[in-house]
Amino acid sequence: MDLDELLEKTKDVGPRNGFSERVMHAVEGERVGLLTFVPRASKRFVPVAAIAAAAAIVWAVTAVRDADDATATSDDSAEVEW
């Protein structure tokens, strides 16, 4: 058989019944995958974020204490006598 004959004989070839459903099932699975990807990815960063938050709190407390100490100690303090 030559090319044109083979193309003619295969012109009615098409998907079998239920193909669209199979595709949509796969696409729905992909969609669920995409929706769960972000929360899954962000879970990996939770421990890092927790450590960073703890470090930020420690730094903030230390900074406030230093500021309080600096305010309480005046260079030119003078006692007032009544």
Partner 1 sequence: MEDAARRVQRGDVSAFREIVEATSARLVRLSARIMGSVAEAEDVVQDAYVKAYRAMVAGQFDARSRVETWLHRIVVNTSVDAKRKRTRAREDAIDSSRGQEGTAESAVALAELAKMLDALPEDQRSAIVLKAEGMSATEIGEVLGCSEGAVEQKLVRARATLRERRN
**Which residues are at the interface with partner 1 (CB under 8 A)?**
1-3, 6-7, 9-16, 19-20, 22-24, 26-28, 30-31, 34
Residue 16 or 48: the one with the smaller Cβ distance to partner 1 is: 16
Q: Which positions ≥6 away from 40 have C-beta within 8 Å?
A: none
Residue 17 or 74: the one with the smaller Cβ distance to partner 1 is: 17
Q: Which of 5, 2, 24 is nearest to 15 (CA)?
A: 24
CB of 56 to partner 1, least distance (A): 34
Residue 37 or 59: the one with the smaller Cβ distance to partner 1 is: 37
